[in-house]
């Protein structure tokens, strides 16, 4: 790993703040009925952020686009568990994280996150890395939408290395998997963590490519599906499937664990949870139904671009 220059924390922060602005502007324009409300917060142990939440829009039932920049003198257990060399270092973590839960069951839920970590100790080189990605969780599958999502992801990664999309796609499939259910949360996308390759400039460019491609990946899908008529049946299934989202975020999600373990702001961390959810005991989709198609055709891992 060569470093042409040390990490530029200020440049990363400026990019992330601008990314939050751009994503909020694009999604609010697509919604057309509500705007994001900002809630700035500070963290007693160091740092803070600005949470932006949209609720009861024409399209978005609940969504949040969070920026946070936290720092502290000790890395939390969730970070040092797989990187023991970080113990005893001061850290900074900054990122933008978002989840959009649309009202219409034909519009998929989406999640995206880009982040930067740096751990420093006097007399030692800083340890830093980027992470992030985005994934799509449809309730009713649409092949054209999923192909567009994955093609946009591939196009973002390819200029920085054609090996990256296949690697991050597989990583996403493996990560957003509910082991206790034996099923994927959605149709995947990109996921990467601990990324520190070639140089700071290269790694930062990759994070920007992923962050910048989220709106082009998601907005056309929202636009195409947001006016599709639906009934109580589709809405019930959407609320049932949202339960899987909750299960994943509370049981497996590393970001949730990191946020809670570092004394992050609970409201912002749990902002990703949908407003309405239902669980049914031992529910099974009707054979041959659109609901069954989600399980049979969309949730099993596939190469969408072949």
pLDDT tens by residue, 94-127:
999 999 999 999 999 999 999 999 998 888 888 9
Alpha-carbon distance of 151 to 146, in angstroms, equals 8
95: closest CA among 71, 75, 63? 71
Q: Model confidence at 1, in pLDDT bands (50, 70, 90)?
A: very low
126: closest CA among 228, 278, 3, 239? 3
Structure tokens at 284: 């099974």
Q: What are the strands of the beta sheet with 188-195, ordered from one edge?
A: 37-42, 47-55, 60-72, 90-102, 109-120, 127-137, 188-195
Annotated binding site for a divalent metal cation: 101, 111, 150, 180
Q: How many CB atoms lie within 10 A of CB 179?
A: 9
pLDDT in tens, 61-85: 999 999 999 998 887 676 677 777 7
Q: Which residue ranges form the domains of the chain, and what is each CATH number?
A: 9-298 (3.40.1500.10)
71 is catalytic: no
| Residue 78, H or E segment | helix 77-80
- pTM of the complete model: 0.93
Annotated binding site for substrate: 97, 113-115, 263-265
Structure tokens at 130: 């980027």
Please, which residues bridge with residue 170 across strands? none
74 or 206, which is more confident?
206
Structure tokens at 276: 């309405």
**What burial class does residue 142 get, using C-beta atoms within 10 Å of its C-beta: 0-12 exposed, 13-18 middle, 19+ buried?**
middle
The active-site residue, picked from 56, 82, 103, 111, is: 111
- Asked if residue 13 has pLDDT above 90, the reply is yes
Annotated binding site: 97, 101, 111, 113-115, 150, 180, 263-265
Q: Model confidence at 267, in pLDDT bands (50, 70, 90)?
A: confident
Q: Model confidence at 59, in pLDDT bands (50, 70, 90)?
A: very high
Alpha-carbon distance of 42 to 264, in angstroms, equals 9
> Cβ distance 102 to 61 under 8 Å?
yes
Alpha-carbon distance of 37 to 261, in angstroms, equals 26
């Amino acid at each position: 790993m060569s470093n042409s220059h040390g990490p530029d924390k200020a440049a990363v922060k400026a990019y992330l703040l601008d990314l939050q602005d751009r994503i909020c502007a694009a999604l609010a324009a697509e919604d057309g009925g509500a705007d994001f409300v900002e809630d700035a917060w500070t963290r007693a142990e160091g740092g803070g952020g600005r949470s932006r939440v949209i609720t009861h829009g024409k399209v978005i039932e609940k969504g949040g686009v969070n920026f946070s920049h936290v720092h502290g003198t000790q890395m939390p257990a969730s970070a040092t568990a797989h990187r023991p060399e970080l113990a005893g270092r001061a850290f900074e973590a900054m990122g933008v994280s978002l989840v959009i839960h649309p009202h219409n069951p034909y519009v998929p839920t989406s999640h995206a996150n880009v982040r930067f970590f740096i751990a420093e100790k006097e007399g030692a080189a800083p340890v830093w890395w980027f992470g992030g990605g985005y994934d799509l969780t449809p309730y009713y599958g649409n092949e054209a939408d999923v192909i567009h999502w994955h093609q946009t992801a591939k196009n973002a990664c390819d200029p920085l290395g054609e090996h990256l999309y296949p690697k991050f796609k597989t990583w996403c499939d493996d990560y957003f998997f509910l082991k206790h259910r034996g099923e994927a949360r959605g149709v995947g996308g990109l996921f990467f963590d601990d990324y520190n390759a070639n140089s700071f400039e290269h790694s930062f460019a990759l994070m920007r490519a992923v962050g910048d491609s989220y709106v082009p990946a998601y907005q056309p899908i929202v636009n195409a599906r947001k006016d599709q008529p639906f009934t109580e049946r589709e809405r019930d299934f959407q609320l049932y499937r949202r339960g899987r989202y909750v299960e994943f975020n509370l049981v497996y999600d590393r970001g949730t664990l990191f946020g809670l373990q570092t004394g992050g702001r609970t409201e912002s961390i749990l902002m990703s949870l949908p407003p309405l959810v239902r669980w049914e005991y031992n529910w099974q989709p009707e054979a041959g139904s659109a609901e069954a198609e989600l399980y049979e055709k969309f949730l099993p891992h596939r190469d969408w671009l072949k």
